[in-house]
Structure 1
């Protein structure tokens, strides 16, 4: 008995930091929020309900954002209603983690113009914008990956792709003296993906030599060459991300029914001075079909001497958007997180 007790203490010590605490599952069938799994730092109780129209089982959780409903940590400029995973489930930063969940949305959804709507995001140490995000703007569900200040649309549902490019360009801070340069790059990169046009610029940015390569002296020189070829003032605006879409793969429309998502995430950057150094990896499936793979510099560069704890990314779901008229409802069900795909539980048959 003493040996077993000592073993339990040893495991508790080893897992005290979250390196061993990466598995999480919630089917939301209890009709109440489990505080050991989720934190309500950015949501109010009035924005949470449980509904019988579930993906599986007895109920799903529904998050609602109404006009003028700031929630927590938002104010009058936006509407926020997000739940995040408890810190006890955050992985060590750089480890491979898999996620599975189902969601759908309904209510007042603008089909023209951007409300900067985020409906799911992963944030790592040092991130301002999320390294990976599910977005729903201009009537189009799309997924973005962040490389420091550069944002790429890596997958999209059918819709008005010109407006998606407008969303991309709006990521630039107003007044930045390189705003036109950044917008030009974002426009070229998103056009290359969603319209299927592979320009000379896109071929260069997607090549193994540039996109996703460690940012050493050689790749910086290549980035400089690319920047010069399209008239950019600074090579740092050339994204070090390689997007590998599956042929004819598009995201489903979550307004039309449940969408089943699987994500594989392994953070990394070639220019990290601490934490995982090497190409980051993301793979995405929707309704059982592979959609896209992403390789390269993902998230924020971690500098030597930084005080960020090397844990995460942590996952948040719900609604985060600019303050706009109407009510938006986000339904979420059958969430699981594991260190391998085999660790994800089987999902019930499609509805």
Structure 2
């Protein structure tokens, strides 16, 4: 029996605090009392049967000819957002659980800047937390103002990922370093995804200079050729981060502490339902109003703890901006650069609560 979530909790100021929200999508019809549709077209909303637990799940479909609503460039956007009455007071602890999977035309390369779920707080330009699917790799990012960090991913070595991010964090954000990192990413993707092309057009030393097995002299030579500072460590470690879109957003310091659990990767959503649980407690030590303390995030996937995150999360709240202390709000669906084919983001069993005990119970686990 699924637990019944309670009604909105009202704070002394009258604002909704971590409102309960529960949707199993079994009616095969969107409940507009729970979701807003300003960033999705009606033909992009379908339902698939059966769902993760019940009779149906919602399916957000992005087809080749689809445009995006509220896009700033040539992108495809089809997202549903929680209604404002369910937004918590910003700074409150909120728990979320949901299941999702990805089907259809799913490119393993070229699928850059693909957001498949996000939390946005007051003042955020990029989401404070985002589920992403770039170049065939499911990963989760956290933002410290304009600087981004991967906190979990579906494949690879978490320690190597942290090393690469730390090295990028030591770089100064300037045009030379941005162009160098973009060039390094292009070379790495060509060497892995088109090895015959790289053999024909690039020297063997160039291709061997990237990756953890690279000779120090080769890595240093490529680093110098690209105009990067240091002794080549970034060149040899960058491969573990090369899948991300916009690698320049990882340049510079971020006050984000990432503690992975037991070297556990995220599941691959192309292989079946992935059950996610998030604990989100927003905050920053440099806020001029609102929650003036470190933010906290804990993430579970398929019943296993994946990572804990602590630090300055989201955008700094400045008194002059005077953003309302509401959110973060949650969105799911697809937001990406235009790609061919039909992409299906199936979503089910959503629950939001101030406590983990208040989340709706899921059916049998993996």
Same fold flag (TM > 0.5)? yes
Q: Unpaired runs of 5+ in structure 1?
A: 1-10, 169-175, 188-194, 197-229, 231-235
> Where does residue 32 of structure 1 map in the other structure?
29
Q: Structure 2: where are the runs of 5+ without partners?
A: 1-8, 166-172, 185-210, 213-233, 235-250
> SS of the counterpart of 1:272?
coil
Shift in Å, 1:141: 0.3
C-alpha distance in structure 2 between counterparts of 1:66 and 1:315, whole Å: 23
Counterpart Cα distance in 2 of 1:310 and 1:183? 39
User: What is the alpha-carbon distance in structure 2 between the residues aligned to residue 336 and residue 95 of structure 1?
Assistant: 16
Distance 1:182 1:16, change over 3 A: farther
Q: 2:98 aligns with which of 98, 101, 104?
A: 101
Structure 2 CA distance, aligned partners of 1:183 and 1:265? 35
Residue equivalent to 2:114:
117
Asked if the contact 1:117–1:319 (Cα under 8 Å) also holds between the matched residues in 2, the reply is yes
1:122 alignment partner, SS class:
strand
Q: Alignment RMSD, CA only? A: 3.0
2:284 aligns with one of 258, 262, 269: 269
2:360 is matched with: 345
Q: Name the SS for the 1:88 alignment partner.
A: helix
* 1:74 shift after superposition: 2.6
2:299 corresponds, among 267, 284, 289, to: 284
1:183-202 aligned at under 5 Å gives the runs: none
Alignment partner, residue 295 of structure 1 = 310
CA distance, structure 2, for counterparts of residue 131 and residue 180 of structure 1? 24
C-alpha distance in 1 between matches for 2:120 and 2:96: 14
Post-superposition offset of 1:260: 0.2
TM-score for both structures, normalised by structure 1: 0.75
Tell me whether 286-295 or 306-315 shows the greater mean CA deviation.
306-315
Q: 1:23 and 1:13 mapped to 2: Cα distance?
A: 14
State the 1:307 CA deviation: 2.4
Contact in 2 for aligned 1:70/1:80 (Cα 8 Å):
yes
Given candidates 233, 237, 242, the residue that maps to 2:252 is 237
Task: Report the number of matched residues.
Answer: 285
Give the stretch that moved more between structures: 151-160 or 325-334: 151-160
Q: 1:159 to 1:43 in 2, by over 3 A?
A: farther
- Structure 2 distance, partners of 1:252, 1:35, is 31
Is 1:331 matched with 2:352? Answer: no
Q: 2 CA distance for matches of 1:181 and 1:66?
A: 32
Partner of 1:133: 130
Match of 1:62?
A: 59
Task: State how far apart, in whole Å, the 1-side matches of 2:41 and 2:352 are.
Answer: 24
Q: 2:16 aligns with which of 8, 15, 18?
A: 18
The answer to whether the Cα contact below 8 Å between 2:94 and 2:355 also exists between their aligned partners in 1 is yes
For residues 96 and 333 of structure 2, the distance between their equivalents in structure 1, rounded to whole angstroms, comes to 16
- Distance in 1 between the 2:361 and 2:305 partners? 17
